[in-house]
Chain A
């Protein structure tokens, strides 16, 4: 028996514990969630845990917030992805050429990613967007414009802005580093052949960035689908249902009512939706992601 084969077999033994642990961690909560979703389980009513079939699912799906929650989730994820990818590409191309203070600029650009989501939301809500004493209000007043009451008049847009601010650095970081491995000689050769900057960007830079963009989209989607802290801290899902997304709907039911059954049903629906989203994403961008 060749060493190669032996290694392959051994590696399977070696990794099986970690893979097993991983699967266990994912299967245990999943099966618990499935179980809870089928019983009446409210923390405030101990002991009354009878089987109620699909009642939890029925209540979740017919909740008034479910429709707006779905569309807000899609809007939020879509807009933030669009903003972070487009601006991310532009900014990373911009900072890719050498200029004075490049290192500092890069550090400044990636900083928001290190800030806690709660802090992020609190700083934006109070220090920046407050309709009376916020910085934005002062800027608007300075230019003689009527200050905007962000969370009342443009609630979802405000949330998108806050979340984009947090995730743009992540996109910049990944794309910026990917650009460094762009073949300089090839670019120089193309330029000598008379290719303009737009053509260079279109035919050399963008294709090169396809893979990192796919990574950005995948990771961001997973986190954006479950955005919650930013909404909880700023608008509480309102006014009306204008900033209620699916994750917030689940949390508000679970946290305010301590209805574990309903939250579990909502969670399972969210997982199904995430899988659907992942399926389409893989169709869309996945080829460059998992294939070599």
Chain B
């Protein structure tokens, strides 16, 4: 879409929503993460304020960890410093249940709530009430180098098993040439290595908790998972794998050092972007690997906009959140930044647009991955929690961060897998006991 289309769109939006007011503008303070898509949203401030002259936007853009801490303090104390909060699929149901968030009901008809993927809506709801509107959403998938696979005479199945992945990694691992068989997250953190490891464990048939909230790290499934992971990444991974998170792996993959990489579907837009990727034309896409099951093999996450109960500008905040997650917003992005930059993973209409599907080579696999992810049914054996790569309980953040540290310790070789899992079991039972899940 060319630049001359912007004006009509902006004007159309203006006509649709502007009600001239003599009153002073309501200020809406938005707390958000410093990811590229959110920064782009901030850059449309002028457009929004022009079409909504009665609303003024104030931005508080922070790094993810700092933001999460900042928002939690404010909402738990009903501080009222923010009118719109950017939260994840982990917080939305927990905070919603606490009664801290405004339900997202009575949305305008042209918002077309039916258009949003049911899995995403489900993940942002508690007891059937939607508490946040998704800005973008992601699953995880496999990225691989088509050129290297071709040279080696290998072919990537639609959905490989982890065993097959290991075989490929073995063939393609050439550390002397600066080419590593596989890149995976190794950096400790509930949203870093544990996100990947939990999807991996799902595929291996493991679960975080049994029906009575007892952790299962002493089971064979977890031992298989972590042993496999440490062996795979330790043998065929890049040096320093235990400190690589999403960003580090993205940089490695883009500079052509990884033959395979399993990570978030949003990375599709980065690895195929010629301005930052050396391998843009050679990236292939497959589903996240399965093993004994396909259940929970790919994760489900969304960054979403929510309105705290403590906000004193709820109406203006709702106007903004519906605007920023609307189809019109997608059109605005498409017109100004290019159609492949549209926030992915939230709306069926995005994927029904042939123009988008043509411009974004990763879109088909993203859609397929999104459709497979189900937060309510992600483990082979039944589990009491919601969430694919996390368990939506307040304790999970702390527990998984500690377990993540142990796993990265095992990967770095400072402890054995058995030791790490024994500690993990210990820590998790302690925390659950402390939180009064059982005596």
A239 B411 Cβ-Cβ under 8 A: yes
CA A242 – CA B401 in complex, angstroms? 15
> For window 141-197 of chain A, which residues contact chain B by CB distance below 8 Å?
147, 149, 151-153
Contact of A151 with B398 in the complex, beta carbons under 8 Å: no
Verify if B412 is at the interface (C-beta below 8 Å from A): yes
Least CB distance, A221 to chain B, in whole angstroms: 27
Contact present for A255 and B189 (CB under 8 Å): no
| A131 close to chain B: CB less than 8 A | yes
Given contacts A43-B73, A236-B189, A242-B414, contact A149 B240 (CB under 8 A): yes
Contacting pair B394 A149 (CB below 8 A): no
Number of residues on chain B facing chain A (CB within 8 A)? 40
The chain B residue sitting closest to A243, CB to CB, is B405
Contacting A at CB under 8 A, from B353-398, are: 394-395, 397-398
Taking a contact as CB atoms under 8 Å apart, the answer to whether A44 and B398 are in contact is: no
CB-CB < 8 A to B76: which residues of A? 43-44, 46, 258
Q: Quick check: A240 and B409 within 8 Å, CB to CB?
A: yes
Residue of B nearest to A147 (CB): B239
What are the residues of chain A within 8 A of B420 when measuring CB–CB?
240
* Max chain A Cβ within 10 angstroms of own Cβ: one of B397, B404, B405, B420: B405
B85 in the interface, Cβ–Cβ < 8 Å? no
Q: Give the dominant DSSP class at B's interface.
A: helix
**Other-chain contact of A131, B187, B240, B411, B431 (Cβ < 8 Å):** B240
Chain A nearest Cβ from B429, distance in angstroms: 12
Residue with the highest number of chain A CB atoms closer than 10 Å, among B243, B402, B434: B243
Distance (Å) between the CB of A238 and the closest chain B CB? 4
Which residues from 214 to 246 on chain A have a C-beta closer than 8 Å to any C-beta of chain B? 235-242, 244
Check A258–B72 contact: CB distance below 8 A.
yes
A64 to B423, CA, bound (A): 8
Partner of A151, one of B72, B98, B243: B243
Q: Which of B153-193 contact A (CB under 8 A)?
A: 187-189
Give the chain B neighbours of A147 by CB distance below 8 A. Answer: 239
Contact with A along B75-97 (1 / 0, CB 8 A): 01100000000000000001000
B240–A151 contact, CB under 8 A? Answer: yes
A149 touches B405 (CB 8 A): no
Whether A239 pairs with B72 at a CB distance below 8 angstroms is no
Whether the Cβ atoms of B397 and A242 lie closer than 8 Å is no
Closest chain-A Cβ to B218's Cβ sits at a distance in Å of 16
- Closest chain A CB from B415 CB (angstroms): 6
B252 and A240 form a contact (CB under 8 A): no
Q: Please give, as numbers and ranges, the residues of chain B lying within 8 Å of A258 by CB-CB distance.
A: 72, 76, 394
Interface of A is mostly: loop
* Distance between Cα atoms of A114 and B73 in the complex (Å): 30
Residue from A64, A149, A240 in contact with B243 in the complex, judged by beta carbons closer than 8 Å: A149
- Closest Cβ of chain A to B420, distance in Å, is 8
CB neighbours (8 Å) of B405 from chain A are 236-241, 244
Within 8 Å CB of B409, what residues of A? 238-242
> Does the CB pair A59–B434 fall under 8 Å?
yes
Is B427's CB within 8 Å of the partner chain A? yes
- Contact between B398 and A253, CB atoms less than 8 A apart: yes
Contact present for A45 and B394 (CB under 8 Å): yes
A252 to B409, CA, bound (A): 17
Contacting residues, chain B, for A244 (C-beta < 8 A) = 405
Minimum CB–CB distance from A79 to chain B (whole Å) comes to: 19
What residue in chain B is nearest A44 (Cβ atoms)? Answer: B394
Chain B CB within 10 Å, residue with most, of A43, A253, A255? A255
* A43 to B412 alpha-carbon distance, docked (Å): 34
A256 within 8 Å of B (CB atoms): yes
Q: In the complex, A235 Cα to B245 Cα: how many Å?
A: 12
A96 at the interface (CB under 8 A from B): no
Which residue in chain A gives the minimum CB-CB distance to B95?
A44
Contact of A252 among B239, B401, B406, B411 (CB under 8 A): B401
On whether A132 and B243 interact (CB within 8 A), knowing A46-B98, A255-B69, A256-B401, the answer reads no
Bound-complex Cα distance A252 to B412 (A):
21
- Asked whether any CB of chain B lies closer than 8 Å to the CB of A42, the reply is yes
User: Roughly how many angstroms separate A24 CA and B243 CA in the complex, as a whole number?
Assistant: 44
Least distance between A225 CB and chain B CB atoms (Å): 22
The 6 residue pairs across chains A and B that have the minimum distance between CB atoms: A240-B409, A257-B398, A149-B240, A131-B240, A44-B394, A239-B412
Known A46-B76, A151-B243, A257-B394; 15 more pairs at CB < 8 Å: A43-B73, A59-B430, A59-B434, A132-B252, A149-B239, A149-B240, A152-B240, A236-B189, A237-B188, A239-B242, A240-B406, A241-B405, A241-B409, A244-B405, A258-B76
Q: List 17 A-B contacts (CB under 8 A).
A: A43-B77, A44-B76, A64-B426, A133-B251, A149-B240, A152-B240, A152-B242, A236-B401, A236-B405, A238-B188, A238-B404, A238-B405, A238-B409, A239-B412, A240-B408, A244-B405, A257-B394
